[in-house]
Structure 1
């Protein structure tokens, strides 16, 4: 009997992890000197992660000057091209774009629906785009947070745009209610049960689902009930990254996600020096559980990508 294949997705940059040299803002959130910022740096980290076993990369773009998130699709496109020049890994753009800061007031700013939907115009094109499937209060520790707004109208436009492009789609589930939001798109015909879509269960983000075994088991079972043909993965934030992906593997995940976007530590109190180091640990866990690591071609087939 052949071993089950599992996809390792790497998230090398994100939007909320900060480089330790990020200028001019209070020290909120996770900070590390090992975070890549420029398209070239992200491409190099992606290449190292690909060699370590990752077959899918989840990207965000940063303004090289401020080191904060940017909706500028020229920067996104440059990042896609730099990665393509380094290796054949599948590329997924993070549809939420991310948070940036108004320096005069330190107010946290989130992108508009128009800026998020403009990611459909990235050139060269990525293989996949994510869609956030609900609104929730996104907290950033003692510094407060923002309402992460993703209403049904944005979701519908994003899903329709992805289908028109022929890209793969990953639907981000931050809360159990987001599964039912997704099912509404089955009911109204925006999605069908035969569409290829990938459910991502984001565990442990403040304001979303807690990263507990009971919660993961419940959301996985409910996802299977509502979407029997969908692929799924899980991620865990910070110290919960490896417990959550290990449990996801045991529960039959098609993929798991690791990277500096979600967690900056390789073990308690020890900073990871690269994304590849985090991927290597995920690969070791997968091998211990008797999984085989999916290649890029195998990941493409599993996810139904063209």
Structure 2
């Protein structure tokens, strides 16, 4: 790591939850993934939205990795990688998602100087290897060996020259007032474009084509047009907001790794036999639009 990078990493960065969080997008969101992974109890819900408690946060990065919509911003903890080998340390262990990203970047071996530091990492590595097998990739393997870490040393002239070059490089990565966020670097869909990590299905007997799911999905997994309802699960990160907001409870998401398989349900254009207006449906047998069907239901209930 260069001198400027070391200085940047030493600064105090406060994690924050962005408005792209599903709870900001809809009060119906049930996602609590950041809360579930925080071992420090540094995340709490205030008025229905997750908030990071600064006094408890140790900036381990677990919430950044766990968030399905990359809504937690902050500096993700750096790992020591030498010759495409990830060094196992006593610091915060990586998440499965982090390991899958590192694997795609060429890391497939983990090295440690002793077995003591390996144990806390083992179940995470095992889980990552199960997923790698499903992704048809080679597994991680662990090696015990002595590590030789070299420190960066520079003369005064080299220091000023290197500082200039590194600062120019680093500034390309930073955002105004925030230096660098890692919240958008752990989206698995970007690294494994031939696979999807979820399977989405729609119960056509319930769906009313209200389009709430389509408007609220930040990953653009659901698209409803005049001719079809298309499900593109490759970009889905299992936030389940579409499930939460569906008024008919017609959407199901399964946590599952499989080759990319887009699904399309044909949309039928019909004329309501009550109000005579045109309407769209997924069902061949529908003769009334959603509004007339609901009004009929209310009339039936009130007559009893």
**Same fold at TM > 0.5:** no
* Higher RCO, 1 vs 2 (CA within 8 Å, ≥6 residues apart): 1
Between structures 1 and 2, the one with greater helix share? 1
TM-score normalised according to structure 2 size: 0.27
